[in-house]
Structure 1
C-alpha cells in the first residue's frame, strides 16, 4: 500500500489598505473564506505556472482551515508540488479585489505539526492584540473563548 505524502502550509493573509498593513485590526471586514482563497490560489498558479503547473498542483490542493479573525489558513498540497503552491502563494497580491500580503508561517510534513504551529500562532496574535489594547494581564475578554474554540477546531481537523 502506498500512502500519499503531503505538505501542510500555514499562511497568514495580512490585509493591506492604502499602502499600510492593518496589523492591529481583528476581523477587518474582509470577505475571505476557504473557497475564495482556493480560487485565488488556483488563479495564481494558472497565471504564473500555466496549465502544467495547475495540472501538477490541482488534484492535491485543498484549504483545510481558515480563521477570519486572525486570517490564518492551513493548506494541504502534495509533497512533490508544494514548491509550486508556495511560490503561487508568495506571488499572490489580491484576493477578491482586496490586497493582501501572504506570510507563510510554517511548512510541515504532518497535520499535527501544522495544528500545533497554528495554535501557537493564534496565541501570539491574540497576545499582540491584547498588548495593543493595553489591558491588564488577567483581563477576561472574547479572545479567551476564541482561543478555546479555534484550538478545538484546529485539533478536530483530520488528514
Structure 2
C-alpha cells in the first residue's frame, strides 16, 4: 500500500490596508491560489496540484492559514502563494511561516505563531501579559481547532 504524501504550508496573510479588508475564508484563499497558479504556472501547474491542494484551516483573527498539497509539486503551490498580491481586490502580503511534511509539526507551528501574533496585539495595546482579555479564550479555542485537524 502506498501512502499519499503531503506538504503542509502555514501561511499568514497580512493585509496592507487598515480600511475595508475582505473577510477571508478557506474558499476565497483556495480560489486566489488557484488563480495565482494559473497565472504564473499555467494549466500544467494547476494540473499538477489541482486535485491535492486544500485549505484545511483559516483564522480570521490572526490571518493564518494551513494549506495541504501533494509533496511532489508543493513548490508550485508555495510559489503561487508567495506571488499572490490580492484576494478579491484587497491587497495582502502572504508570509509562508512554516513548511512541513507532517500535520503535527504544522499544528505546533500554528499554535506557536498564534501566541506570537496575540503577544504583538497585546504589545500594541500596551497591556500586561497577566491581563485577562478575549484573546485568552481565542488562544484556547484556536489551539483545540488546530489540534483537531486530521490528514
Question: Normalised by the shorter chain, which TM-score bucket?
Answer: over 0.9
Instruction: Give the aligned CA root-mean-square deviation in angstroms.
Output: 1.3
TM-score with structure 2 length normalisation? 0.97
Q: Number of aligned pairs?
A: 151
Q: Where in structure 2 are the equivalents of 1:10-159 lying within 5 Å?
A: 10-17=10-17, 29-159=21-151
Where structure 2 has 5 or more consecutive residues not aligned to the other structure, the ranges are none
* Separation of aligned partners in 1, 2:47 and 2:80: 14
Deviation of the 1:30 alpha carbon:
3.1
Secondary structure in structure 2 of the residue aligned to 1:149: helix
Where structure 1 has 5 or more consecutive residues not aligned to the other structure, the ranges are none
Secondary structure in structure 2 of the residue aligned to 1:158: coil
Deviation of the 1:118 alpha carbon:
0.1
Deviation of the 1:137 alpha carbon:
2.3
TM-score with structure 1 length normalisation? 0.92
Deviation of the 1:29 alpha carbon:
4.9
* Separation of aligned partners in 1, 2:112 and 2:22: 23
Contact 2:15 2:21 in 1 (8 A): no
* Separation of aligned partners in 2, 1:66 and 1:116: 15
